[in-house]
């Protein structure tokens, strides 16, 4: 969220990127946002799933822990790098994907925190639930992890979607195309 600093707020950074692309979205809390014709209907599937499961943190704790790890890992390395290359190709800021590629890193970033959260959760379970309970909880964590991509992982594809646009820097574009 940017810890109160709007310049670090990820939705604000993403809105800036969209504005550079000529897209000025209505306020997120507005009716116009919900009905904005530029959204594809399926774009809401994953956010609605996240919002829905987040309403039940106790009931779905194992699934949420797995989902959280999958979310933090998704894009780190490959996906964000490809998205960054596509954004750079078309002359847009790569700040949004650069931020996530660093913040979500697996050594000390959000992905590491997510793995630690799972370890912490599992550490106390044997005394409470016994071995079978731990195995069942682990299966639920795995189900939560897998649930992220049940709805499709389109992030990199969406960034790379405007392929018909003319690159801002044709010389750079030729280099990227060759690699
Ligand atoms: Fe993250």
State the distance from the centre of ligand 1 to the C-alpha of 80, rounded, in angstroms: 12
Q: pLDDT for 71-99, tens place per residue?
A: 999 988 888 899 999 999 999 999 999 99
Q: pLDDT for 34-73, tens place per residue?
A: 899 999 988 888 889 999 999 999 999 999 999 999 999 9
Compute φ and ψ for 115, nearest 5 degrees: -65, -40
State the distance from the centre of ligand 1 to the C-alpha of 103, rounded, in angstroms: 6
State the distance from the centre of ligand 1 to the C-alpha of 110, rounded, in angstroms: 5
Rounded Cα distance between 80 and 49, Å, is: 22
Q: pLDDT for 114-142, tens place per residue?
A: 999 999 999 988 888 888 899 999 999 99
Rounded Cα distance between 159 and 141, Å, is: 29
State the distance from the centre of ligand 1 to the C-alpha of 104, rounded, in angstroms: 5
Task: Evaluate whether 20 touches 93 at the Cβ level (below 8 Å).
Answer: yes
State the distance from the centre of ligand 1 to the C-alpha of 74, rounded, in angstroms: 9
State the distance from the centre of ligand 1 to the C-alpha of 2, rounded, in angstroms: 12
């Amino acid at each position: 969220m940017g810890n109160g600093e709007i310049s670090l707020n990820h939705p604000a950074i993403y809105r800036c990127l969209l504005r550079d692309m000529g897209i000025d979205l209505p306020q997120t809390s507005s009716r116009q946002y919900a009905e904005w014709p530029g959204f594809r209907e399926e774009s809401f599937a994953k956010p609605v799933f996240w919002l829905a499961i987040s309403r039940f943190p106790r009931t779905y704790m194992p699934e949420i822990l797995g989902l959280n790890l999958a979310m933090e890992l998704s894009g780190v390395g490959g996906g964000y790098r490809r998205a960054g290359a596509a954004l750079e190709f078309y002359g847009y800021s790569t700040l949004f994907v650069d931020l996530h590629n660093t913040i979500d890193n697996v050594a000390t970033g959000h992905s590491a925190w997510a793995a630690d959260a799972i370890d912490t959760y599992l550490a106390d379970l044997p005394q409470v639930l016994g071995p079978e309970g731990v195995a069942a909880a682990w299966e639920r964590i795995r189900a939560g992890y897998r649930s992220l991509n049940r709805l499709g992982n389109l992030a990199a594809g969406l960034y790379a979607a405007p392929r018909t646009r003319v690159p801002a820097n044709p010389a750079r574009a030729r280099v990227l195309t060759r690699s």
